Amino acid sequence: MIIEMPEVETLLSFVPTAQYGDRIDPERPSDVPGRLPAATTAPRGGALHLSSVLPAVSSAIGAPVTTAVHRDPAALQSVLGLPDAGNGAAIVVLVDGLGYWNLVDRLGHAPYLRSLMNDSSNRRPISTCSPSTTVAAMATFGTGTCPGLTGMTGYTQLNPTTDAICQLIQFRGAPDPADLQRQPTVFEQLDSLGVRATSVGLMKFARSPLTTAALRGARYIADERPMQRVKKAAESARQPGLTYLYLRDTDKVGHAEGWLSEKWVAAFEKTDAQLAALRRLAPKGTLIVIVADHGMVMTDPAARIDIAAEPELMRGVRLVGGEPRCVALYAEEDESADEIAHRWKRRLGTRAWVRTKEEIVASGFYGPMLHRTAEVVGDVVVCAGIDDEAAGRPGADGTPGNGVVTIVDSRTQTEQAMALPSVHGSQTMTEMDIPCLVDMA
């Protein structure tokens, strides 16, 4: 088995905006900016999308569930290559931060995952949502819809009630999670059909706001011990229905140490061992599907842009949301979004993809959009790319940088937050491509 890794420039290039729905429009023109190298101009998304996974699995366990963007679960099951669950049970594992190309690059450390990649049907990435970040992706995954419908558009966004920026991991300063995210989850729909829906994770996530918003409806089984969580997920599959298992260490270590670090490799190896144990322990006939919420890129300190030190970038901007790879700018009352976008384009050039709210909503970046979601979206949204001039320039440790741009704000962010070695959120190949690996116990 040989999986060819694209060139680094390709992996860090912008890709076309992913489409939502059961099928894809092959005639839809690519919207990738012409001045930036595109990994591919082929349409992305449709059935090959994170939003498709749970509806497809519901079909595989004999309890098809539709959502606001997916009306044909059987078609999704077919395109994703999911066999029917022989015992009527499926386990879906979401490995936080394990992008498809992160996985491929370190596949030699993961014997179980490597064995799955021997199947040609597993050797294709699917697309996550935009922005490629946990908050937006978890809601997209849990509801089978999109950020435009869930109202969860990034790590931080505007709270229209308070007219301030709120944070959606712990929901600091945010609306009530059940009020913000009103789409029914796939777990809720299965439960309403009398089908078992189980979620296995840490106790602190059992009733967290993010769980309430994105994953509600499942019976939660908690355990603080990683291998015990794996065992409990396997045990739950003794009854027909859906089990969800969340593994977080690759994302946690990636942010703290960088996804190319030895500590990340160690976390990746442990994750592979947990997944292999799940496969051994799961009852015969159990469908196992392994996905992620986003990929990760290494950052380059030489390519960091601190907007607090850029008066021209901050002119007309009253609030800044999003995250370092996908920034949301909220305009002052009498300021034109077009003017703000023009200033950012002039300053950043090919280092970012700058779009007004009107442009980014029209592109389908957030999927179908509700009016109440449009209120929280930035007037200008900036997806960070690469800085060709910074790429290759030796850093403090003498290692050449990769030119990956991060956009930070030292007025509101700590030095630690601004200097994370690995991040995600933008619309590049590495951040958007995720695995969807299928196995049968």
Tell whether 200 and 338 lie within a shared domain: no
Give me the domain span that covers residue 322. Answer: 298-423
What CATH number is associated with residue 124? 3.40.720.10
The pLDDT of residue 371 is 97
Tell whether 288 and 348 lie within a shared domain: no
Residue by residue, what is the 3-state secondary structure of the chain?
Answer: CCCCCCCHHHHCCECCCCECCCCCCCCCCCCCCCCCCCCCCCCCECCCEHHHHHHHHHHHCCCCCCCCCCCCHHHHHHHHCCCCCCCCEEEEEEECCCCHHHHHHCHHHCHHHHHHCCCHHHCCCEECCCCCCHHHHHHHHHHCCCHHHHCCCCCEEEECCCCEEEECCCCECCCCHHHHCCCCCHHHHHHHCCCCEEEEECHHHCCCHHHHHHCCCCEEEECCCHHHHHHHHHHHCCCCEEEEEEECHHHHHHHHHCCCCHHHHHHHHHHHHHHHHHHHHCCCCCEEEEECCCCCEECCHHHEEEHHHCHHHHCCEEEEEEECCEEEEEECCCCCHHHHHHHHHHHHHHHEEEEEHHHHHHHCCCCCCCHHHHCCCCCEEEEECECCCCCCCECCCCCECCCECEEECCCCCCHHHHCCCEECCCCEHHHHEECEEEEEC
The pLDDT of residue 104 is 97
The pLDDT of residue 41 is 76
Whether 68 is in a domain gets the answer yes
Tell whether 218 and 341 lie within a shared domain: no
Tell whether 256 and 340 lie within a shared domain: no
Tell whether 187 and 320 lie within a shared domain: no
The pLDDT of residue 398 is 66
Tell whether 22 and 112 lie within a shared domain: yes
The pLDDT of residue 37 is 59
pTM above 0.85, yes or no: yes
Tell whether 149 and 272 lie within a shared domain: yes
Tell whether 214 and 289 lie within a shared domain: yes
Q: What is the pLDDT along the chain (441 residues), one digit of tens a residue?
A: 678 899 999 999 999 999 999 999 998 988 998 766 556 678 999 999 999 999 999 999 999 999 999 999 999 999 999 999 999 999 999 999 999 999 999 999 999 999 999 999 999 999 999 999 999 999 999 999 999 999 999 999 999 999 999 999 999 999 999 999 999 999 999 999 999 999 999 999 999 999 999 999 999 999 999 999 999 999 999 999 999 999 999 999 999 999 999 999 999 999 999 999 999 999 999 999 999 999 999 999 999 999 999 999 999 999 999 999 999 999 999 999 999 999 999 999 999 999 999 999 999 999 999 999 999 999 999 999 999 888 878 776 767 889 999 999 999 999 999 999 999 999 999 999 999 999 999
Whether 3 is in a domain gets the answer no
Tell whether 366 and 388 lie within a shared domain: yes
Tell whether 176 and 190 lie within a shared domain: yes
